[in-house]
Structure 1
Amino acid sequence: MAKIAGNEIRPGTLVEFDGGLWIAVKTQAVKPGKGGAYNQVELKNIITGTKLNQRFRSDETVDEVYFEKKDYQFLYAEGEMLVFMDTDTYEQIELQKDFVGERAQFLTDGMKVMVTSYEGRPIGVQMPLQVVLTVTEADPVLRGGTAAPSYKSAMLENGLKIQVPPFIDAGTKVVVSTEDGSYVKRAEI
């Protein structure tokens, strides 16, 4: 840990504040007409997910926390647990599905992810921004209507339903965003 001034906090900075671990989401330098300048910081608790808006003056100091990032490979899901393997040491860790959140549905065997840890305790999983999945079912395109829909429903191999363009059929591989589960483009395979 290192002490940093309140005006040095930037988005992505991890700090220990008020007894918790917080990551800066947004920062804004404010110079009011009266009084001293300050840094308006939106903090998110990395354990509970709660948010906090806090003002830090330049003469205030906080402890910046350093965390470790390591590459892991997703192996398999077992009930509510997800098993990952450290790609350097081959050591395995188990994380709750809830810990990864809704993005867990995009995990595929062998997928590389980045696990962020603080003092040996995992605090986050960073996944690829996009994944390639196969369409297993796609609605037929309705012809003849003057107001034809520009998108249709499709089912992916992971069970997720998304909207795809009319030219996508079952068996087609598509690129999907892991942020919101939306169709990005047809995969170039």
Structure 2
Amino acid sequence: MTTYSGTSLKSGLKILIKNQPYEIQYSEFIKPGKGQAFVRIKLRQLLTGKIFSKTVKATDVFYSTDITEITAIYLYNNGFIWVFMNKKNFEHVHVLKKFLYGCEKWLINSSSCKIILWNNSPISVHTNTFINLKVQDIDITVKGDTMNSTSKLVFVETGASIRVPLFIKKGDFIKIDTRLGKYISRINH
């Protein structure tokens, strides 16, 4: 296990704190005129996704963690376990629903995604930031209500609902930002 001092903490580094994996989002070394130097860091807890700030001494010691990232293809699920195939070695990776953090609503067969493993166990799944999905159904709106509304609710092929402009029709392909669940544009096929 590699050790790091407080002064060597950089963005993107993955460390253990109280036997839990964290990723450093931001770090700032501060050397006051009087007193001991310290480091302000912003961390993301990799098991929960929560982000928080912490101040550590420049002399504190931290240990690296066994975090790996694989590219995988979504295959299927049974409602509790989602099954992916590692693109490199074609092994199946089984992921519990609690580690999907809402990305399951953007997965269709053969979707490519990243899986984060801690000690060879999956702890999170990340879909591509932008995906193209087909509009399967449109929420029925009251005719003539276009004066009060500039968007409508549609259901894409994964079952997720999203607000889109009024000109989108059933069968159209749309580009979606998965981080926000927002419509970006219509895709011409």
Normalised-by-shorter TM-score class: 0.7 to 0.9
Partner in structure 2 of residue 103 of structure 1: 103
For 1:117 and 1:104, how far apart are their aligned partners in 2? 18
CA shift, 1:184, in A, is 1.0
- Aligned partners of 1:14 and 1:23 also within 8 Å: yes
Partner in structure 2 of residue 179 of structure 1: 179
Matches within 5 A, 1:1-150: 1-49=1-49, 51-138=51-138, 139=140, 147-150=147-150
- Report the TM-score, using the length of structure 2 for normalisation: 0.85
Partner in structure 1 of residue 163 of structure 2: 163
Name the CA shift for 1:181/1:67 in 2 (closer, same or farther; >3 Å).
same
Q: Deviations over 1:78-134 (max 9, x none)?
A: 121101112222211211122112111111101111222232122222211111111
Unaligned stretches of 5+ residues in structure 2: none
- Aligned-pair identity (%): 22
- Aligned partners of 2:27 and 2:40 also within 8 Å: yes
Flag as ranges the 4+ runs of structure 1 deviating above 6 A.
none
CA shift, 1:142, in A, is 5.6
How many residue pairs get matched? 188
For 2:52 and 2:35, how far apart are their aligned partners in 1? 23
CA shift, 1:15, in A, is 0.4
Q: SS of the counterpart of 1:108? A: coil
Task: Look up the equivalent residue of 1:23 and give its one-letter code.
Answer: E
Q: Which moved more, 1:115-124 or 1:48-57?
A: 48-57
Q: Deviations over 1:45-97 (max 9, x none)?
A: 32244555322233322112242222211111112110111222221121112
- Aligned partners of 2:71 and 2:86 also within 8 Å: yes
- Aligned partners of 2:106 and 2:160 also within 8 Å: no
- Aligned partners of 1:7 and 1:56 also within 8 Å: no
For 1:110 and 1:144, how far apart are their aligned partners in 2? 38
- Aligned partners of 2:114 and 2:126 also within 8 Å: yes
For 1:63 and 1:91, how far apart are their aligned partners in 2? 29
For 2:153 and 2:42, how far apart are their aligned partners in 1? 38
CA shift, 1:33, in A, is 4.2
Q: SS of the counterpart of 2:102? A: helix
For 1:50 and 1:173, how far apart are their aligned partners in 2? 33
For 1:85 and 1:99, how far apart are their aligned partners in 2? 16
Unaligned stretches of 5+ residues in structure 1: none
- Aligned partners of 2:85 and 2:91 also within 8 Å: yes
Q: SS of the counterpart of 1:105? A: helix
Task: Look up the equivalent residue of 2:127 and give its one-letter code.
Answer: M
For 1:86 and 1:97, how far apart are their aligned partners in 2? 18
For 2:56 and 2:66, how far apart are their aligned partners in 1? 20
Task: Look up the equivalent residue of 1:30 and give its one-letter code.
Answer: I
Q: Which moved more, 1:70-79 or 1:117-126?
A: 117-126
